[in-house]
């Protein structure tokens, strides 16, 4: 009993209880934290006609989608499959915005058939859309204001070389196309993708968007995308959502006064809503002392959590069995036959073989990017609701690996 008290726990549920019940590696999400983050945005923008669309590519478990729906959120989707998942979760088509990049007009048309809001980010596709639908189906336009309010170039999508959005320098062309094809533009959108470190830079991008929006008379909403950053380590910078809310509400209400209509202001956060709610639990298989370092080999790898290897993301690691022991230096590596280093030269409370390591900020872009490389099963997912754990996705089995494979007769 006394050992338990020193263990790491999530909403009162200890890591050993979780691992005993569900095995590991394991993703665990704290629903209360998701709610708190959602409420932070709605209070920051309480003075505006706000709509939040949860960007479900961050974490697409249907229970998470249903939770955000219950809170009153809409859904931001980037593929027709995400649209279908949203409908399955019970979202009304008009509460789903479909913002794909580089897809065919056929996929856009499927979105139209479902009745969801369609957001187009390419003049060629817009032209085809106009030819097909004229003014019979409204459309949102994704513009690229070419701002970069943050640091990490790998996740910034607003810069001049970016493949996303229609450049604001093509506005004349856009206006001509809309006019001649009679396209009904009811929304304007931007998503710069970068972590917003500087609220004022973001506001400048928003101002550029509004400056173009004023020339379109049929708008119902303006969507400023996301890029809301959360802290990944102690003393890390995060987006000051309260400051952003105050400044943007003022700016937007002034715009609406001039425009003559109280438009809806929309955002589509993923990371902000779910990142900090998530934990990834795994066990230490072996410690390996080399001449250079001490490796902690864990029973997972880039197949389950690829962000550190894909774009150098930092995930804080706690020793779940011994969170407050003496710190020592470790290099935490996976079991995949590739270099899959989770953390180099990391101070972690003294590790014994068999200890459970807890990765923080594992809600966004973690399980969602997992795969079966090395024929490993994807982990189970658990949701903690009101301090009680619920299994929301089973661990995979050999059946899952073989499901779509077709045996043909062997060569004789």
Ligand X SMILES: *Cc1c(COP(=O)(O)O)cnc(C)c1O
68 interacts with ligand X by CB under 6 A: no
Quick one: tokens of 371?
Answer: 């795969």
Q: Is-catalytic flag, 337? A: yes
96 interacts with ligand X by CB under 6 A: no
363 interacts with ligand X by CB under 6 A: no
Residue 153 beta carbon to ligand X: minimum distance, rounded to whole angstroms: 14
Residue 319 beta carbon to ligand X: minimum distance, rounded to whole angstroms: 28
374 and 336 Cβ atoms separated by less than 8 Å: yes
Is the N-terminal amide bond of 25 cis, ω within 30° of 0?
yes
Residue 242 beta carbon to ligand X: minimum distance, rounded to whole angstroms: 17
Which CB atom, from 279 or from 330, has the smaller least distance to ligand X? 279
Which CB atom, from 222 or from 296, has the smaller least distance to ligand X? 222
Which CB atom, from 203 or from 356, has the smaller least distance to ligand X? 203
Choose, from 56, 140, 256, 337, the residue flagged as catalytic: 337
Chosen residue from 31, 35, 57, 264 binding ligand X by CB under 6 A: 57
Residue 273 beta carbon to ligand X: minimum distance, rounded to whole angstroms: 8
Which CB atom, from 58 or from 219, has the smaller least distance to ligand X? 58
Quick one: tokens of 396?
Answer: 């995979």
Residue 365 beta carbon to ligand X: minimum distance, rounded to whole angstroms: 7
276 interacts with ligand X by CB under 6 A: no
Quick one: tokens of 321?
Answer: 């069995």
138 and 184 Cβ atoms separated by less than 8 Å: yes
Three-state secondary structure of 322-385: CCCCCEEEEEEECCCCCCCEEEEEEEEECCCCCCEEEECCCCCCCHHHCCCHHHCCCCEEEEEE
Task: Please tell me the distance from the alpha carbon of residue 380 to that of residue 385, in angstroms, as a whole number.
Answer: 16
Which CB atom, from 210 or from 274, has the smaller least distance to ligand X? 274
Window 99 to 118, contacts with ligand X (CB under 6 A): 99
**What is the length of the chain?**
412
**Reduced to 3 states, what is the DSSP secondary structure of residue 395?**
coil
Nearest to residue 298, comparing CAs of 374, 243, 353, 221? 353
Question: Which of the stretches 80-88, 269-277, 279-287, 381-389 binds ligand X when contact is defined by CB under 6 A?
Answer: 269-277
**Reduced to 3 states, what is the DSSP secondary structure of residue 411?**
coil
Chosen residue from 74, 111, 270, 308 binding ligand X by CB under 6 A: 270
To which H or E segment does residue 308 belong? helix 307-311
194 and 227 Cβ atoms separated by less than 8 Å: yes
Residue 91 beta carbon to ligand X: minimum distance, rounded to whole angstroms: 16
Chosen residue from 228, 342, 359, 367 binding ligand X by CB under 6 A: 228
Question: Which of the stretches 6-14, 129-137, 226-234, 299-307 binds ligand X when contact is defined by CB under 6 A?
Answer: 226-234
* Conformational region of residue 314, where left means phi above 0, alpha means psi within -120 to 50, and beta covers everything else: beta
Chosen residue from 15, 58, 210, 256 binding ligand X by CB under 6 A: 58
Q: Which residues bind ligand X (CB under 6 A)?
A: 55, 57-58, 76, 78, 99, 191, 225-228, 268-272, 364
Which positions are catalytic? 337
């Amino acid at each position: 009993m006394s050992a338990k008290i020193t263990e790491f726990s999530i909403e009162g549920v200890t890591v050993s209880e979780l691992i005993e019940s569900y095995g590991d590696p394991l993703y665990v999400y704290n629903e209360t934290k998701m709610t708190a983050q959602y409420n932070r945005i709605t209070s920051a923008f309480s003075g505006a006609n706000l709509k939040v669309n949860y960007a479900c590519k961050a974490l697409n478990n249907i229970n998470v989608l249903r939770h955000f729906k219950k809170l009153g959120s809409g859904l931001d989707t980037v593929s027709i499959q995400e649209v279908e998942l949203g409908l399955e979760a019970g979202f009304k088509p008009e509460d789903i915005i479909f913002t794909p990049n580089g897809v065919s007009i056929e996929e856009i048309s499927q979105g139209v058939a479902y009745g969801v809001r369609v957001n187009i980010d390419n003049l060629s596709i817009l032209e085809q859309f106009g030819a097909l639908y004229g003014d019979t189906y409204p459309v949102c336009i994704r513009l690229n204001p070419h701002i970069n309010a943050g640091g990490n170039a790998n996740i910034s999508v607003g810069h001049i070389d970016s493949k996303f959005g229609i450049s604001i320098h093509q506005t004349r062309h856009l206006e001509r196309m809309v006019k001649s094809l009679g396209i009904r533009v009811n929304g304007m959108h931007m998503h710069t993708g970068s972590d917003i470190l500087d609220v004022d830079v973001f506001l400048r991008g928003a101002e550029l968007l509004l400056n173009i929006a004023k020339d379109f008379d049929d708008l119902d909403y303006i969507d400023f995308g996301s890029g809301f950053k959360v802290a990944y380590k102690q003393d890390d910078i995060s987006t000051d959502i309260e400051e952003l809310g105050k400044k943007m509400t003022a700016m937007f209400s002034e715009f609406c006064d001039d425009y003559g209509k109280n438009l809806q202001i929309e955002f589509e956060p993923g990371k902000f809503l779910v990142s900090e709610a998530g934990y990834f639990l795994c066990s230490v298989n072996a410690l390996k002392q080399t001449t250079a370092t001490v490796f902690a080999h864990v029973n997972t790898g880039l197949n389950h959590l690829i962000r550190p290897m894909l774009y150098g993301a930092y995930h804080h690691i706690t020793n779940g069995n011994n969170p407050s022991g003496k710190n020592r230096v470790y290099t935490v590596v996976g079991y995949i036959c590739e270099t899959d280093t989770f953390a180099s030269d990391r101070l972690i409370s003294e590790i014994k073989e068999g200890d459970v390591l807890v990765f923080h900020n594992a809600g966004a872009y973690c399980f969602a990017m997992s795969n079966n490389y090395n024929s490993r099963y994807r982990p189970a997912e658990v949701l903690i609701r009101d301090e009680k754990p619920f299994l929301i996705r089973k661990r995979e089995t050999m059946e899952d690996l073989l499901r779509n494979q077709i045996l043909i007769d062997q060569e004789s």
